[in-house]
Structure 1
Amino acid sequence: MGCTDFLDEQAPSNLTPDNFYTIPDHAEAALAAVYADLRFMGGGAGIFSSNWQLLEAMTGTSTTETAQNSDLNNLYSLSLDANTIHVTNYWNGLYRVIANANQVLDKVPSITPMPEAQKTKILGEARFLRASAYFTAVRLWGDVPLITAPQSASSENFLPSRASKEDVYKLIVEDLTAAENAGLAWMDVTGRVNKAAVKAQLAEVYLTMAGFPLNKGASHYKLAADKALEVITYANANPAVINLFTNYYDVHSETTENRLEHIFMIQYNTLVAGNPMDNFYPNFKPVTFNGPGGTGSSVPTTTFYNSYEKGDLRAKNQEGYFYTSYFTNGSGAPFDLGAPYVFKHFNQTSAGKAGVAGTRQNNLNVPQIRYAQVLLTYAEAQNELGAPTQAAYDALKRIRDRATLTTPALGTFSQASFREAVWRERWHELAYEQITWFDMVRLRKVYNEKTNGFDSFVGHINPSSNQALQEKHLLLPLPRQEMLNNPNLKTQNPGY
């Protein structure tokens, strides 16, 4: 009997969810794991590809020079299916964030003793991270499983059904509202969730709910405008805390991370994980210390690059969001690249620049919410309430002023022409930040670079593939393996 008892004992060094959450440090460590999970978007998706390309390849603003990854090719050709690795990886990555956030939200409240303010802050951050994951999931797949507590094989809803979009958005708003009241600072230079990020995310959620597929309309455009205005009002009163950068270089500089315009970012450091945006490097051109490298598996389409207005600083070589020449091996003699490439995520500290060798350590963060997005969200939402106001016009003009573009006078705009002016700025300002695809889906509109206008989503010819977008592309297919594992998911999204 004694021997049996001995064998039944739990090893004291084995950590489980039941014995781990006992002190405040455990809560902080568990939350850190949720933050770490955000980096799934930079994970590998086969040769010459990363998960983040899922949200870029189908927009038509980029193409590929490599074409050696069949899954990525399927995204670019709009022939993705339930086996496409990027789709599977995004599903798994988002639900990992949700699962670990659920652990924090379930276990941290009972930790005693723990300062109440610290506890509330941690729970608020976890709710923001869970809400953001669900916000991505509901836009990609529509009705998705709504899991709000830790699961095990014995859980009643271990094989959950799909919840309605309405219910998912209800949780998203509840989570973000709780986070908004969690005592967070307006900004956080360590990269943690802050009040500005929560309010900005809420504004984007309301803007999305106002459009397709929920079509909430004016009530939610007003909610979006009001929430974005809270951030703008704070920024106007505290321009040294939240503001636009004065130059575009600061958008991709290691020295400005988590500051001013960068309201929320995914954190990268080569000691843990280096910046994952290398697929924007041109195909085997010597623009870094590595010499001829890079894959060019996502590069701008020429038509999109050429759609920037004449004189737009964002299209100016090495000053804006693109580069058309660089320096041999990162810091040597200048050479012409022969095409435009994405500069927005290019780290000159790491890669090198004229006469200055790079550090070879790409610690650049990936932006998730910039103040520029808040301004454009406000301008769009406010205009939808009837007509462009001075405040909406001023928000749009700030984006264009930085690009050294002239903005027509307020009186020259109708509601319709101002609407499209704001949409154009969203395409040109927020390109390659995993935002454009979601704009296409909520608006059911796509920017046409050749006409400078907007086409209906269905039937728009995607310039990277010369294929037309179809109704089915408004949602992604549920991953095949997930449907095999969980019969309660049942019906696949239409067309797949």
Structure 2
Amino acid sequence: MKILKKIEKPMKTFVKLSALTVLLLSSCTKFLEEEPASFLTTDQYYKTEEQIHAAANGTYDGLNMPFASEITLAASPVYALEYITGYSRRPRPTGGDDDQFLLLQNIQNSNGRFETWWNATYIPIENCNSFIANVSQTSVVNEETKNRFLGEVYFLRAYYYFRAVRLFGSIPLKTEPTLNLDNIQIGKSPIEEIYNQIVSDLQFAENAGLPWTDKSGRVNLAAVKSLLAEVYITMAGYPLQKGANYYQMAYDKSMEVINAGEYSLFASYADLRDPAKNNSGEHILMNQRDQKNATSIIHFHFMPYPEPSKPVSVIPNMGGSMAPTTAFYDSYAADDLRKQEKQFFFKVSNTPFIYKFWDDEAEQTSRSGANFPLMRYADVLLLGAEAKTMVDGGTTQDAAALDAYYSVHKRAFPSSKRPSSISTDDVLKERYWELCFELHTWFDMIRTRKAFDVENDRIVSLIGFKAPNHNRAFEEKDLLWLIPLAEIQANPNLK
């Protein structure tokens, strides 16, 4: 059933871990739209298959929560995940909250960006916990249907925790729904314990009977295995440093996705922007948007900006949150197809801007409903190749790893020859170029503790590296985001 189908909304309890109140939170119906039609507690809900389906839809809300737009022109908390890397600039002036990430200066835990990302973790996790606790015991639906819904929700809980533990480090681990006000000031859990829970949730989802693909945009088996590969390669690196065995597990899991043959790279980069190809082909998991009910901020706010005297959009005065630094843009080879006009970028007065997520339909309607990619097959190919280079000591001649790397590289350089070996640095550079501005780069930087010195074409240590748009070099204190001040004030256990 397509996620956008209209279903009555449930209400589910959640606890914001810092708060002293238990609130009722609505789920999405169309997965995307409308205010709740009624206020129901969990003991009144989960009584029909339709209600269970609606509740499952509601657990997807956290995928979009960081993409919230703000009153400030072209501002959103999600942009911070690219600003912090130092490879992007903001064409429009901005306030202090964004500048702290853009310039890497004076970052404070009162910054509202931290609060949004924190809420985007624990609000949807509480919804997941409520769903799992209630649906695990239900007999309303048959076992096959129940397991598939549970598989989706276990995946989503793992996804939210994985996103948060990489950003904030040691955080509260909570896997039961909140039923009253007792014991809500939960302390932090060890990072490894959180990762173990993530793996456990994904292993449940892996065996839940999910299909390899799902054109409607629901969680599928490829997304589960792809996320496991990324979790394993992260556990192999920093901060846990589990090493070779986990790199091997990341390689093996990536190969399961690759060898399944259910996904393939698009023939052209334009296909990445084709709405007819959403949730298929190269797109493993996307943030689902809808032009009528749940618009996307990416086209008009994230991208087009050039001043009204040189308009490139029907709404030339709204965008300007994100553009590549000149140094990052120049790091692409001149003959890299990704650098060609209107592939990943476009230029105005010789200044580069992002074109990667351009929405042609939005230019006709002034509203964008374009999905945003969360997991792409290109990412999985490069994860597998990187993992194998690490297993083999930094360089590999493994045929499958070479094929995985080369398939991504060859699309950018059609006349290139298949290499006889690749290094970890080769793959990391390819990840910077291929996955730019898709919210992957910062996570790559902190798990590898490496950065791309684009001005000198080399991979270097992250600590001590000054990125193109930053005012200073990275320090150890920059590797984890700050737990929001409001959360610490409400819950001293978070200090």
* TM-score grouping bracket, smaller chain normalisation: 0.7 to 0.9
How far does the alpha carbon of each residue in 1:417-453 deviate from its partner, in whole angstroms, 9 at most, with x for none? 6111100000000010100000000111100111110
Is 1:314 equivalent to 2:326 in the alignment? Answer: no
Structure 2 spans left out of the alignment, 5+ residues:
1-37
Q: In percent, how many aligned pairs have the same letter? A: 37
What residue is the counterpart of 2:355 in the other structure?
Answer: 343
Cα drift, residue 113 of structure 1: 2.8
2-side partners of 1:478 and 1:419: how far apart? 32
Q: 1:267 maps to what in 2?
A: 288
1:333-382 Cα shifts (integer Å, max 9, x gaps):
xxx4531111111111222xxxxxx2333111010000000000000011
Q: Kindly indicate whether the alpha-carbon contact (under 8 Å) linking 2:374 and 2:438 is maintained by their aligned counterparts in 1.
A: yes
Cα offset for 1:121?
Answer: 0.5
CA distance in 2 between counterparts of 1:45 and 1:359 reads: 21
After TM superposition, give the deviation of residue 270 of structure 1 in Å. Answer: 2.5
1:91 maps to 118
TM (norm. structure 1) is 0.88
Q: 8 Å contact 1:388–1:418 — kept in the other structure?
A: no
User: Is the 2:86–2:103 contact (alpha carbons within 8 Å) kept by the matching residues of 1?
Assistant: no
Structure 2 counterpart of 1:494: none
Give per-residue Cα distances to partners, 1:112-140, cap 9 Å, x unaligned: 33111111011110010000000011100
Residue number in structure 1 paired with 2:141: 114
Which residue pairs with 1:456 in the alignment? 461
Which residue pairs with 1:203 in the alignment?
229
2:297 aligned residue: 276
Residue 22 (structure 1) aligned with residue 47 (structure 2) = yes
C-alpha deviation, 1:15, in angstroms: 1.4
Secondary structure of 1:461 counterpart: coil
Out of 359, 370, 374, which is 1:368 matched to? Answer: 374
Aligned-partner residue type, residue 214 of structure 1 = L
- What corresponds to 1:159 in structure 2? 185
Distance in 2 between the 1:284 and 1:104 partners? 48
**1:405 to partner: Cα distance:** 5.2
Q: Corresponding residue for 1:253? A: 274
Range 184-193 or range 145-154, more displaced: 145-154
Match of 1:139 among 154, 160, 166: 166
In the alignment, structure 1 residue 39 sits paired with structure 2 residue 64: yes
Counterpart in the other structure of 1:470? 475
1:228 counterpart = 2:254: yes
CA contact (8 A) 2:104 2:471 kept: no
Superposed counterparts of 1:48-127, under 5 Å: 48-79=74-105, 80-127=107-154
Q: Distance in 1 between matches of 2:192 and 2:417?
A: 39
- Which of 202, 207, 223 lines up with 1:181 in the alignment? 207
Worse overlay, 337-346 or 118-127 = 337-346
CA distance in structure 1 between the partners assigned to 2:92 and 2:211 by the alignment: 44
Matched, 1:429 2:434: yes
**One-letter code of the match for 2:454?**
E
Structure 1 vs Structure 2 CA RMSD: 1.5
1:60–1:463 CA contact under 8 A, matched in 2: yes
Give the SS at the match of 1:293.
coil
Deviations along 1:210-262, whole A, 9 cap, x unmatched? 00110011000000000000000012xxxxx4110000011122111101100
- When residues 359 and 374 of structure 1 are mapped into structure 2, their CA distance, relative to the original with a 3 A threshold, is same
The CA distance in 2 between the partners of 1:466 and 1:36, in whole Å, is 35
Query: Take 1:337 and 1:109, find their aligned partners in 2: how far apart are those partners?
Result: 58
Say if 1:40 and 1:51, in contact at 8 Å, map to a contact too.
no
CA contact (8 A) 2:453 2:467 kept: no
Q: Which amino acid aligns with 1:404?
A: F
Give the 3-state SS of the residue equivalent to 1:481 in structure 2: helix
**What displacement does 1:467 show?**
1.8
Instruction: Name 1:484's counterpart in structure 2.
Output: 489
Q: CA deviation at 1:287?
A: 2.0
1:355 maps to: none
**Aligned match of 1:294 in 307, 318, 324?**
318
Give 1:385's aligned amino acid: V
Is this contact kept in 2: 1:207–1:381, CA < 8 A? yes
The amino acid across from 1:396 in the alignment is Y
* From 360, 365, 384, the counterpart of 1:378: 384
Match of 1:384, SS state, is helix
Counterpart of 2:366 in structure 1: which amino acid? R
Structure 1: runs of 5+ lacking an equivalent: 1-12, 236-240, 325-335, 352-357, 491-496
2:406/2:418 contact within 8 Å kept: no
Maintained 8 Å contact 1:23/1:112: no
Q: TM-score, normalised by structure 2?
A: 0.88
Distance 1:65 1:248 in 2: 25
